[in-house]
Amino acid sequence: MKWTPICMFALVGIAQQSLAQSYINNSTTLQAGANFNIAGTAQSNTLKTFAGTSATGTAHFHLYNGDGNVAANLRWTQAFISEEGANNAGSDFRLFRYSNTGTFLGFGLAIERATGNVTVGNLTSTWLNFNPVGLAAPTFTTRSAGSKITLWNAPVNATTAGWDIGMEDSHIWFGVPAPLNTQGFKFYAGISQVGRLDGFGALDLGGQGRFKGWYTANGTGMAAELGVTAANIASLIGFDRTTGATKYIPLQLAGGTTSTNQTVLLLNEKGATIAPGNTAVNPQTALSVNGLITARQVKVTQTGWADYIFHKDYQLPTLAEVEKYVNTHQHLEGIPSAAEVEKDGVDVGEMNKKLLAKIEELTLYLIEQNKKIAALEEWKMRQEKKGK
C-alpha cells in the first residue's frame, strides 16, 4: 500500500491526540481518574465522587451560573463537612452558598449523618432545624428528643434553650428559652398584633374570648377558670386543682380609672365584699358593702312579722312603763342602742319588724287615747246640758 502525505499527516494527528487525552470508556469496573468536559447533557445510571471529607468541608459537585471556568460564576456546591469519628460523626451533608462574585456565604441546607437533623439557615444561627429524634419535653443542654423544629438556635447552656416546636407523649409543644414576659408568642392579622402569649403564661388578646364547656383536664395548681357548666351557666371561679388539695380559692374582681381609685369585689368562703381601694376587706357576712348602695327597689325576705301586737292576749306596756324605760336606757325597748348599731350594724329586715311593732303599739295607744277623748267629750256634753 502506498501512503500519501495526507494520510500520513492524519495518522500522526490521531496518534498525537490519543497521547494527549484520557478517555472514559463504558466498563463494569472502576475507572482511572480522568477529566472530561461535556457541552450537552450527561447521562449515567450511577455517578460517584471520591473527594473525601475535611473539617472545613470538601465540595463534590460545583454548580455555576454560566462558564464553569470562571470562579466568580460559582453559586452552589454540594459537599461533605467534618472529619469522621465514632458514632457516625462527620461526613455531614452540606449545600454551600456563594455570592454573585463567587464568595462563600455559608450553608443553605445541612443534614447531620449521625442524627439525621435537617437544618436550613447558616452556621452561626439556625433558622429552621428539623430533628427526627423521639418524644420528650424540652431540655436545655442539648437538642434532645422532643425538639422537632428549631426556629432559632439560641446559645444552648444549662438555663437556656431555643425557640422550638416539639412533641412529647400525646402533645405538641412550643418553647421559648426562658420564663420571661419579654419572650413569647405573638399573633398577627396582617401587620397588626391581635394576641400575645408570654413566657409567664400571660395571654393578651385584642378581641373577645369565648369558652365553651367546663375545665375537666388534668391541670394542676391555682387558677382563675372561665367556662360554661353542665347546667349551661357561665362561670368564673378561683380553683386549686393540685392533686389531693382540690378546692376553691378566693376570687377578686377590680375596676377603676386610675391605679388607686378602683373598686374591688372579693369572694371567699365567708361571702362577698365590695369596697373601694386596692384590697377589699374580708367579708363577715354573705354580702358586705363598704360604701353607699343605690337601688331603685330593695326586697328583703323576712320570717315572722309584727302582727302579734294586735293579738288580744298581747300585753301592751303602759305609757308610764315606756317613759320609765326611755328615761333609764335612752332608747326604746327592743330597739338597739346607738353603740350596738355602731358595733354590729343593723339587720334591715329585723329592724323593719321592730319598727313596725312600735308603730303598731303607737296605733293601739292612739286608739286607746281616742276612746278616752271621745268619752270625755260625751261627759262634757252631758255636763253642759245639765247646766242649762
For residue range 99-120, what is the model confidence (pLDDT) as tens digits? 999 999 988 899 989 888 888 8
C-alpha angle 154-160-164 in degrees, rounded to nearest 5: 60
Among the listed residues 203, 206, 242, the one whose alpha carbon sits nearest the alpha carbon of residue 226: 203
Q: Could you tell me if 77 and 169 lie in one domain?
A: yes
Query: Largest alpha-carbon pair distance within the chain?
Result: 199
Strand order in the sheet with 222-228: 222-228, 234-240, 247-248
For residue 141, is it within any domain?
A: yes
Same domain for 377 and 274? no
d(CA 357, CA 373): 24
Residue 36 lies in a domain: no
Q: For residue 344, name the pLDDT band (cuts at 50, 70, 90).
A: confident
Show the cell assigned to 222: 391555682
The rounded distance, in Å, linking the Cα atoms of 216 and 230 is 11
Can you give the pLDDT at residue 26?
Answer: 66
Is the model's pLDDT at 258 over the cut of 60? yes
Domain match, 363 and 319 both:
yes
CB 249 within 8 A of CB 262: no
Q: Does 7 map to a domain? A: no
Instruction: Kindly report the average pLDDT of the chain as a whole number.
Output: 83
At 348 the three-state DSSP class reads helix
Residue 97 is predicted with a pLDDT of 93
pLDDT band at 262 (very low <50, low <70, confident <90, very high): confident
Question: Which DSSP symbol is given to 125?
Answer: S
Q: How wide is the angle at C-alpha 207 spanned by C-alphas 203 and 209, nearest 5°?
A: 65
Does 69 share its domain with 183?
Answer: yes
Q: Please give the Cα distance from 175 to 183 (Å, whole number).
A: 10
pLDDT tens-digit series, residues 296-315: 998 988 888 999 999 999 99
pLDDT of residue 14: 46
The Cα 64–Cα 75 span in angstroms is: 5
Residue 110, number of CB atoms within 10 A of its CB: 21
- Give pLDDT, residue 32: 64
SS3 236: strand
Please provide the DSSP assignment of 43-105 as one string. --S---------SS-EEEEEEESS-TT-GGGEEEEEEEES---GGG-S-EEEEEEE-TTS-EE
Per-residue model confidence (pLDDT) at position 140: 55
Q: Could you list the residue range(s) of the whole structural domain that residue 235 is in?
A: 211-249
Look at residue 151 and tell me if it is in a domain. yes
Higher per-residue confidence, 7 vs 122: 122
Q: What is the pTM of this model?
A: 0.58
> Does residue 350 contact residue 300 with C-beta atoms inside 8 Å?
no
pLDDT of 194 reads: 94
Give the residue among 38, 22, 25, 93 at the shortest CA–CA distance from 61: 93
Residues 281 and 327 in one domain: no
Report the C-alpha gap between 357 and 372 in whole angstroms: 23
Give the model's pLDDT for residue 29: 65
Q: What is the dihedral of CA 344, 347, 350, 355, to 10 degrees?
A: 80
Of the three residues 235, 260, 294, the one that is the final residue of a domain is 294
Domain shared by 317 and 223, yes or no: no
- Look at the chain and report how many structural domains it folds into: 4
- Using pLDDT thresholds of 50, 70 and 90, give the confidence band for residue 209: confident
CA separation for the pair 166, 130 (Å, rounded): 10
pLDDT band at residue 15, thresholds of 50, 70 and 90?
very low
